[in-house]
A = this chain, B = another copy of it.
């Protein structure tokens, strides 16, 4: 496992491999060659082989890759073989959508707490939303791995400042701003407006659009 210097481009393809392999597995397909995967994913076979070999030799010459084995390997590479404790800060439309999103395995993502401006009960009493005033104390008393930030941009940095020294391992930021946290804590941004604006640019310049 030469994990020394995996490029961001490779890292962002890992979840895609996971997705395509999961689909293949669900279709009952047991083996796949880099050539076949290439047709499905749109990546070149060469790129697929090189990507995978950053993490080890998962294939078999003359045969290809066993779908389930490769999928399980990628699960471990990404870290999806573990559970994660989550706190959602900001329980507006996006916070609620994330809370209820069925797209990820809910067994693996354990929402420990939900925070907003004040205490209240949401979703017919099923969710106890806590005041943001209690957030720092909560982080001290609970091991929160992932903080999901869905607060307005004015508040995003204030909340981020509360994470210092709390053993939070990552921030998933939906606020339309770039927050600063400890250097060793990764931040993954979902900037909805930027995504929409990129689409609009290509709508006006479709000849420049390159699929995928």
Contact = CB atoms under 8 A, between A and B. Distances in A.
Nearest to A204: B79
Contacts of A200: 78-80, 84, 146, 170
A73 to B, nearest CB: 13
A191 B104 CA distance: 11
Contacts of A45: none
A209 interface: yes
B16 A193 contact: no
A120 interface: no
Contact of A203 (B101, B169, B211, B212): B169
B15 A146 contact: no
A126 B119 CA distance: 28
A12 interface: yes
Interface in A121-160: 145-146
- Copies of this chain present: 2
Interface string A64-87: 000000000000011110001000
Interface string A167-199: 001111000111000011111101111111111
Nearest to A199: B188
B78 A197 contact: yes
Contacts of A209: 184, 186
Contacts of A172: 195-196, 199
A52 to B, nearest CB: 14
10 contacts: A14-B201, A15-B198, A78-B200, A84-B203, A103-B193, A104-B193, A145-B203, A171-B199, A172-B196, A188-B198
Interface centre among A98, A183, A203 (most CB of B within 10 A): A203
A34 interface: no
Nearest to A191: B15
Nearest to A103: B193
A78 to B, nearest CB: 5
A3 B146 CA distance: 41
A164 interface: no
